[in-house]
Amino acid sequence: STQSTWAHEALSQDTHQRTRKMSDTQAYDLKTKAACPQKSSYKVQVEAGKTYYWCSCGYSKNQPFCDGSHAAINKEQGTTFAPKPYTASETKEASFCGCKQSKNPPMCDGSHRNL
What pLDDT, on the 0 to 100 scale, is given for residue 113?
Answer: 93
What was the pLDDT predicted at 5? 37
Residue 59 has what pLDDT? 95
β-strands 51-54, 92-96 pairing: unpaired
pLDDT of amino acid 43: 98
**Residue pLDDT, tens place only, 47-90:** 999 999 999 999 999 999 999 999 999 998 889 999 999 999 99
For the chain, what is the total number of helices (H) and then of strands (E)?
2, 4
Q: Give residue 18's pLDDT.
A: 42
Q: What is the mean pLDDT of residues 98-113?
A: 95
The pLDDT of residue 12 is 40
Name the pTM for this structure.
0.71
Residues 6-52 have pLDDT tens digits of 444 444 444 344 434 444 433 444 444 789 999 999 999 999 999 99
**Does residue 96 register a pLDDT over 60?**
yes
> In angstroms, what CA-CA distances link 81 with 28, 50, 57, 100?
8, 22, 6, 11
